[in-house]
């Protein structure tokens, strides 16, 4: 994934220096059934911290292909075999997935794509700018245990990326900016605009206590569709250093860029 950060396929549990003996029976079983391990070098004086590295790797994987990848436990072991292991901890906030929307397998091409995302995500995280806020909200949405907070966090993440004005008409503005960012032809922009506008309106239903308007069977599919929007948005952003620079700037800079993108295009009524 980056220097000192690897996803390794292992046929057996690595040497955990006895730390696994302190785990519950079901956790020990999870260790034995885990085919892949995330390993990285880390110093207490460096960032990202271990939990941040884990989340950034998982977001990179999620952007390339939503899977059931998650991390339950972290073990800190010295490279010096003479040193005692430092300890372990559980991840209580874990990546979740939308049933029916996550695939069971990941291909080499997906891993290659995830590798291309990781350093850009790390840089955004360390920069602590406007996009870092969107990144944190994206991560929170991926960790949510129910569809309402997941969709709220993902829609807030999209807003953190797309907003450039605090005036009325935010849904139309966000949908228009999104459509113009991710598509080029008028027909494709129309479809993207309508999809974003429809799904973002569900956020309003949640915020104002109108979830009874949304059939139970539609809720997870709606969340999966909005996750696809957010993933597409991040993919476009991460592919352009110039766009990252624009979006890290003030609203006026974003507005100027958007007007250039929108030129000649009128969205559906």
pLDDT tens-digit map of 132-177 = 999 999 999 999 999 999 999 999 999 999 999 988 999 999 999 9
Token code pair at residue 216: 């139970």
- The kind and range of the H/E element at 84 are none
User: 39 - beta bridge partners?
Assistant: 6
Q: How far apart are CA 151 and CA 203, in angstroms?
A: 7
Least confident of 40-49, 62-71, 197-206, 215-224: 40-49
Confidence at residue 27, expressed as pLDDT on a 0 to 100 scale: 92
How many angstroms separate the CA atoms of 11 and 202, rounded?
45
CA distances from 64 to 67, 106, 109 (A): 9, 9, 9
Distance CA 90, CA 101 (A): 26
pLDDT band at 17 (very low <50, low <70, confident <90, very high): confident
Q: How far apart are CA 40 and CA 7, in angstroms?
A: 9
Task: Provide the pLDDT for residue 79.
Answer: 74
pLDDT at 76 over 70: yes
Residue 44 has pLDDT above 70, yes or no: no
Q: Is 138 left (phi over 0), alpha (psi -120 to 50) or beta?
A: alpha
Question: For the chain, which residues make up each domain, given as ranges?
Answer: 5-90, 128-262
Could you give the CA distance from residue 202 to residue 49 in angstroms, rounded to a whole number?
35
**pLDDT at residue 63, rounded to an integer:** 97
How far is CA 239 from its chain centroid?
15
Residue 212: pLDDT band (50, 70, 90) is confident
CA distances from 123 to 47, 139, 237 (A): 11, 16, 13
Is residue 141 packed enough to be buried (19+ CB in 10 Å), middle (13-18) or exposed (0-12)? Answer: buried
Residue 191: pLDDT band with limits 50, 70, 90: very high
Name the band, by pLDDT with cuts 50, 70 and 90, for residue 84.
Answer: low
At 99, give phi and psi (nearest 5°): -55, 130
> Is-contact 121 238, C-beta < 8 A?
yes
SS3 7: strand
* Residue from 207, 191, 114, 99 nearest 156 by CA: 207
Using alpha carbons only, how large is the chain's radius of gyration in Å? 21
Cβ-count burial 57-85 (b if 16+ within 10 Å, e if not): bbbbbbbbbbbebebebbbebeeeeeeee
């Amino acid at each position: 994934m980056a220097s000192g950060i690897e996803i390794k396929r292992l046929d057996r549990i690595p040497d955990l220096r006895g730390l696994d003996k302190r785990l519950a029976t079901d956790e020990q079983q999870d260790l034995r059934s885990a085919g892949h391990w995330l390993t990285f070098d880390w110093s207490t004086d460096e960032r990202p911290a271990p939990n941040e590295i884990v989340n950034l790797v998982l977001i990179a994987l999620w952007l390339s292909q939503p899977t059931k990848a998650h991390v339950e436990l972290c073990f800190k072991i010295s490279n010096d075999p003479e040193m005692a292991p430092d300890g372990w901890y559980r991840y209580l906030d874990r990546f979740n997935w939308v049933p029916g929307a996550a695939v069971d397998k990941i291909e080499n091409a997906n891993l290659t794509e995830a590798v291309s995302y990781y350093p850009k995500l790390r840089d955004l995280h360390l920069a602590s700018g406007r996009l870092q806020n969107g990144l944190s909200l994206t991560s929170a949405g991926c960790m949510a245990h129910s569809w309402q907070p997941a969709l709220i966090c993902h829609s807030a993440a999209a807003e953190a990326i797309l907003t450039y004005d605090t005036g009325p008409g935010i849904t139309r503005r966000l949908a228009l900016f999104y459509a113009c960012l991710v598509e080029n032809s008028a027909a494709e922009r129309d479809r993207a605009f309508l999809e974003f506008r429809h799904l973002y309106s569900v956020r309003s239903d949640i915020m104002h206590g109108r979830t009874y308007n949304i059939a139970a069977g539609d809720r997870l599919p709606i969340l999966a569709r909005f996750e696809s929007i957010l993933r597409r948005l991040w993919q476009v952003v991460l592919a352009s250093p110039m766009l990252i620079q624009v979006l890290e700037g003030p609203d006026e800079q974003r507005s100027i860029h958007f007007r250039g993108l929108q030129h000649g295009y009128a969205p559906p009524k």
